Chains A and B, each alone.
Chain A
């Protein structure tokens, strides 16, 4: 019995004979690109940056830069966490509404229960981690797709946000944070500004950069990062060699919830009030930013830096369109084209990397 061997004959020759240097030259470039999922996003960001720098006046001014960096920052904080989760093979549709839930918990505890803002923030964090842990536990326990499980959490949180807010305040918003104890000091951490060349920049930009660095480090330089790729790429194989699958995935869900808490805290301390219906629809933007940054929808591949760049593209395009005085409808068209091209590029890369030759 001989299997037809189109090409596989050369493969085994290559494995046995050793003319090493020639082979390295012929394959290394494409393989290097495969292991760099953020390349496409970086090129895209460069194009968008140059485009709006040329066609608008304000884009490249300090105040322009501060504006689009601010826009990108909170999206970016979420996108990197969502990217880690996606690399781990799961989705979190409750991530958008979580930014509102955490802000509401903080605001209600501070304004209605009269707690110190710091304590309110701490309890809000506990709440976020509990929801994230619950998402992860339920996904692992039931074996259901996280898409469905977190859709449930998304709806439940949305209902809770509105229901509880209306019950407690009689309206659909919580305000009055400014009068609470600890608002000023907590605001220093989450909502202050720093100045470069006389132009104030939002501290959220620093949070974004810091969390990107941490996420990128964890992903490529720690064992946990190795496990994230493994549980997303081939869960049964990962488990077979002793990777703690359940723990890894639950921690990833808790990470997106944590990011939701950071963004919720930034929002509540900056605007001092929060709408109960905030955050809905953002979850898709996070996923889009992660995909544009090179994450595969199927898991096992992607980059935190890429997701941060994906968010940057978002911010630049959204503000650039404003500066160019176009109708914001064009943003959606731009988004659609970008998403499709990113998915096509990612898919081609994955094919290359996953090409199974026997």
Chain B
């Protein structure tokens, strides 16, 4: 088997005396989606912030393309090819789609001018290649739906040559249909050979696109499965904490009958 794009081995992170993450191991392979699932406060964001260069791990190993790394800034991770899309971050709502697409990496003409035509055409083409069909790349990003905005951000990461795409809860604020659209583009990015890290607390979003599932609970790994090793029902049960879910169901029945 080839070397994974990202491999973490027994990685850990503490904030002061809070142990946010410990002994977590997983991998991200080109053309695969690694899903990170867990409840609020499970350490999902902490893990991806390490991968994205926002924080540094203080235990274990972080290998990128087989070599141990420690990114000291998001810029460094980005330059290495790890792009992160946060919900609602990295778009400027009042700016047009194409200006957002190229923000910080504008196409230049004569050294200082903005090449608007190239910007618009490239944006249109890059979005079309991802199967995203926008009316007009000149419209403000704020007029797009939440799902469409996620898609623009994903397409941007793909266009600028990311090898790994990290998505922090891209479907959290979306309705069912919109979440479906975003997940389709996640699959698109995967099919184009990117390694994708998808953070979610919804197993129904994770299971259809995921190849590997890392379950976290209170900072510790609850399980690390390939798709062949686990069913959706089992994933859901594990996430809810098995017995805890049954207790919850019991409680909810109590609410209904009273």
Contact = CB atoms under 8 A, between A and B. Distances in A.
The answer to whether A and B come from one shared complex is yes
A242 B75 contact: yes
Given A12-B177, A223-B106, A353 B140 contact: yes
A233 B135 contact: no
A88 to B, nearest CB: 12
B94 A18 contact: no
A240 B256 CA distance: 47
A9 B175 contact: yes
A34 interface: yes
A3 B90 contact: no
A143 B74 CA distance: 22
Interface string B174-187: 11111011000000
A11 B144 CA distance: 9
Interface stretch (A67-75, A195-203, A224-232, A320-328): A224-232
A223 B112 contact: yes
Interface in A1-16: 1-5, 8-9, 11-13, 15-16
A313 B93 CA distance: 30
Contacts of B126: none
Contacts of A141: none
Given A28-B136, A356-B93, A230 B181 contact: no
Given A15-B151, A223-B108, A353-B140, A237 B92 contact: yes
Interface stretch (A19-27, A130-138, A169-177, A281-289): A19-27
A356 B142 contact: yes
A242 B222 CA distance: 36
Interface size class of B (residues with CB under 8 A): 35 or more
Interface in B97-141: 99, 102-106, 108, 112-114, 116, 132-133, 135-136, 138-140
8 contacts: A5-B177, A15-B148, A31-B138, A221-B116, A223-B114, A226-B106, A355-B142, A357-B145
Nearest to A13: B177
Contacts of B144: 357
Contacts of B112: 222-224
B89 interface: yes
A238 B143 CA distance: 19
A67 to B, nearest CB: 37
A237 B140 CA distance: 15
Interface of A: 1-5, 8-9, 11-13, 15-16, 18, 20, 23-24, 27-28, 31, 34-35, 220-226, 229-230, 233-234, 236-238, 240-243, 300-301, 350, 352-358
Contacts of B116: 221
A304 B177 CA distance: 41
B91 A237 contact: yes
A15 B147 contact: yes
A221 B181 contact: no
Contacts, number: 150
B138 A35 contact: yes
B10 interface: no
B135 A23 contact: yes
Given A233-B92, A236-B89, A238-B103, A12 B136 contact: no
A237 B74 CA distance: 13
Given A226-B99, A300-B94, A20 B145 contact: no
A87 to B, nearest CB: 10
B25 interface: no
Given A353-B143, A358-B146, A9 B136 contact: no
B90 A225 contact: no
Interface in B174-209: 174-178, 180-181, 202
Contacts of A240: 74, 86, 89-90
B232 interface: no
Nearest to B134: A15
Contact of B114 (A16, A226, A243): A226
Nearest to A353: B140
A198 B203 CA distance: 80
A58 B138 CA distance: 44
A243 B147 contact: no
Contact of A12 (B90, B135, B145, B202): B145
A34 B95 CA distance: 11
